[in-house]
Copies of this chain bind each other. A is one copy, B any other.
Amino acid sequence: MVRVAILGAAGYTAVELIKILLRHPEVEITALTTRQEGEPHVAAIHPQLAGRLDLHLENLLPAAVVAKADCVFCCLPHAASAAVVAEYLEHGVKVIDFSADYRLDDVATYSDWYGGTHPDPQRVGNVAYGLPELFREQIVNSQLVANPGCFPTSAVLVLAPLLKLGLIEPDEIIVDSKTGVSRAGRTPKLTTHYPECNESISAYNVGRHRHTPEIDQIIRRFAGIETQVIFTPHLVPMDRGILSTIYARPKTDAGEEQLLEKLRDFYRDAPFVRVVDHLPATKDTYGSNFCDMTVRIVRGRVVAFSCIDNLVKGASGAAVQNFNLMYGFPETMSL
């Protein structure tokens, strides 16, 4: 049994993670941390866990966590995460980090998009990116894995193979993404106040969403190709789900069937990617670790679609998939 701690256990990714780990036969959850006061019982924070996990959220220092856990899932915000990860690693603890701190290739890009100075700069660029469909080997041998952003997951799973296989041009790629509201986290804000975002759709953070450089860099890391993706996120009135609609210019004269076949070949051994013929809906992936994707050709342009559940394949499901690989368990265990 692997003893697992979850740092920052009050949010949506944490509760989703706990639910997955509770059915994992090789995991025991031993600690939950929070920076809030009062040490509340986990069921007071997440009523859906009543009767399922008898732990309190505690304001624990790494030293205390290390005594209880072999592996840490870190759901802290960016910068807060990198401020503690080093200490865990030094104690031989394995870490799956949900923040953006270890996803990028260089600290300069990090500072440009996230601001501030990176707390752990020497590791940046040397950490496995936790998208097993593209980086399985690196993940298997890692003590630290950077769990991917949800938008990048939905975009890169489509773009990386299409680019790598020479099927689309790298310039003028557009990623028009639509996400449910849970992606914005659990802290109440006016933009996610129910009567504001219900019955409405709008774009946000146009031209400055932090997942933009992540998409470009991960594509480059995998395919060796430079992109300058135009990424536009939209907020949709639903709890979960991301649909990315992707526009690119074809590099070959392959038709829809050929493109689909190439994608199916590419993902032949990926248990969580489903290349489908129909137009996928986010609901098809609700609560699951699947990424459903398809592709069309419209007036000479490649138009691709990919759907994930932002809290599962876009966060906690991917984290457990990485965990399984890091520990040599079957990749699909508990997923």
- Please give the residue numbers on chain A whose beta carbons come within 8 Å of chain B beta carbons, in ascending order: 12, 47-48, 50-51, 172, 174, 176, 178, 180-182, 186-190, 192-204, 206-207, 228, 230, 232, 234, 236-241, 243, 245, 247, 274, 276, 278-288, 290, 292, 296-299, 301, 303, 305, 307
Tell me whether A190 and B188 are in contact in the complex, defined as CB-CB below 8 angstroms, given that A174-B247, A230-B303, A298-B230 are known contacts: yes
Tell me whether A207 and B284 are in contact in the complex, defined as CB-CB below 8 angstroms, given that A193-B188, A199-B241, A201-B243 are known contacts: no
Docked CA distance A228–B298 (Å): 10
Of all chain B residues, the one with the shortest Cβ separation from A280 is B202
> Contact at B193–A193, with CB atoms within 8 Å?
yes
Give the residue of B228, B241, B276 whose beta carbon is less than 8 angstroms from that of A200.
Answer: B241
Q: Which residues of B contact A12 (CB under 8 A)?
A: 195
Copies in the complex: 4
Tell me whether A284 and B48 are in contact in the complex, defined as CB-CB below 8 angstroms, given that A172-B172, A202-B243, A279-B202 are known contacts: yes
Tell me whether A201 and B178 are in contact in the complex, defined as CB-CB below 8 angstroms, given that A232-B303, A236-B236, A303-B207 are known contacts: yes
Q: Which residues of B contact A284 (CB under 8 A)?
A: 47-48, 50
Q: How far is the CB of A246 from the nearest CB of chain B, in Å?
A: 10
16 contacts between A and B (CB under 8 A): A47-B278, A174-B174, A181-B198, A186-B190, A186-B196, A194-B237, A194-B239, A198-B237, A199-B238, A201-B243, A202-B279, A202-B281, A202-B283, A207-B297, A236-B236, A237-B238
Docked CA distance A286–B283 (Å): 15
> Contact at B245–A234, with CB atoms within 8 Å?
yes
